[in-house]
Structures are given as structure tokens and as C-alpha cells.
Amino acid sequence: MKFFSAFITLFLPWLVLSGKYDASYIGMGVLCSAMVAWWCKDLLFPGENISIGTCVRQGIRFIPYACWLFWQIVLSNIHVLKVALSPRMHDLISPKMVRFNTDVTEEISKFVLANSITLTPGTVTVRVEGRRFLVHALTEKAASGLPGESDEMERRIMNVFEKKS
């Protein structure tokens, strides 16, 4: 199962990137993907066996999350742009380190949470140790969107990856 998932993960990008659909190119792709998938399946999918159904469900639930995240990125990018161009920039920014404990437990959701925090302008994840996050925030407004203050991002991520059903 792991081998099959890894094979698909590698072979689809091959098809997109090669752009040639002769038998020889496809054959090479199948061969290479199969070899790499066989050697690296435990690297790509560590931990216990995961079912295809869970993967697909998480993938489908991830799409609305990605849309929401993109909208947040647009909003906060405009915010940071305004701060950067403002003549009173030094009054507007108040950089600080924020520490908080997250409620998410699984590795994949912690990864997505850290990446989402960094992607939204105004906040960067500095360090993750266990469940403790260290985040640098550029302004008060950016800090107020962090999981320590408002749990919207966390709730959405848990909804995607940790809902049992």
C-alpha cells in the first residue's frame, strides 16, 4: 500500500514534467518511479500504514482550507505592505516573540500549522518543540491572528487532519 502511494506520488509529477508520451519515456518513468518508491516508501510515509480512503478524505477537506489560507495570505500581505510603505512605520510595527502551546497532536497537522503561520505575512514560526511553538510577529494585528489568541487556524487544521470519521 505504501509502495503504491509512493509510486503514484512520484509518477504523476513525472508525467507532467516530462511532457513526452512515447512508450520509451513512459517506460522509463514507470521504472524510475518504481525503484525510488521501493527504496523511499518509508521516508515518504513514515509510521503505520495509512489507508487510501483517509488520504483522499484529507485531500478533499484540504481544498477549502487551502482557499481560506490563500485569502488570509492576501489580506495579511496587504497589511504588511501598508506597514512597509507607511511613513510612520516605526510607530506601526511592534515586533515580539510569541510563545503558545498548540492543541494539534499529529505531526502532519503541526507541519501544516507551522507552514501556514509562516506563509501568512507578519508571522514566522521560529521553532517547534513538541507542542510548544515560538513565533515572531511583526505587528499587534499579526500577533492577534495566532493560535494563542484566536484558534481559528488550529480549528480548521484539526478539522482537516484529525477528524475521526
Distance CA 29, CA 50 (A): 25
Taking residues 26 to 65 in sequence order and writing x for each that binds another protein by CB under 8 A, - otherwise, the string is ----------------------------------------
Phi, psi of 55, deg, nearest 5? -55, -50
H or E element that contains 143:
helix 140-144
| Residue 90 contacts another protein per CB under 8 A | yes
- CB-based contact 8:36 (threshold 8 Å): no
Judged by beta carbon, residue 12 or residue 52, the one nearer another protein is 12
| Residue 84 contacts another protein per CB under 8 A | yes
In one-letter notation, the amino acid at residue 17 is: L
Judged by beta carbon, residue 7 or residue 133, the one nearer another protein is 133
Least distance between another protein and beta carbon 87 (Å): 10
- How many C-beta atoms surround the C-beta of residue 69 within 10 A? 19
Residue in 128, 134, 69, 130 with CA at minimum distance from that of residue 105: 130
| Residue 125 contacts another protein per CB under 8 A | yes
Size of the site for another protein (CB under 8 A): 33
- How many C-beta atoms surround the C-beta of residue 94 within 10 A? 13
Least distance between another protein and beta carbon 93 (Å): 7
The one among 28, 77, 100, 103 contacting another protein by CB under 8 A = 77
Distance CA 128, CA 111 (A): 9
Note the residues at the interface with another protein (CB under 8 A).
Answer: 13, 16-17, 19, 70, 73-74, 77, 80-81, 83-85, 89-90, 93-97, 114-115, 118-119, 121-122, 124-127, 134, 136, 138
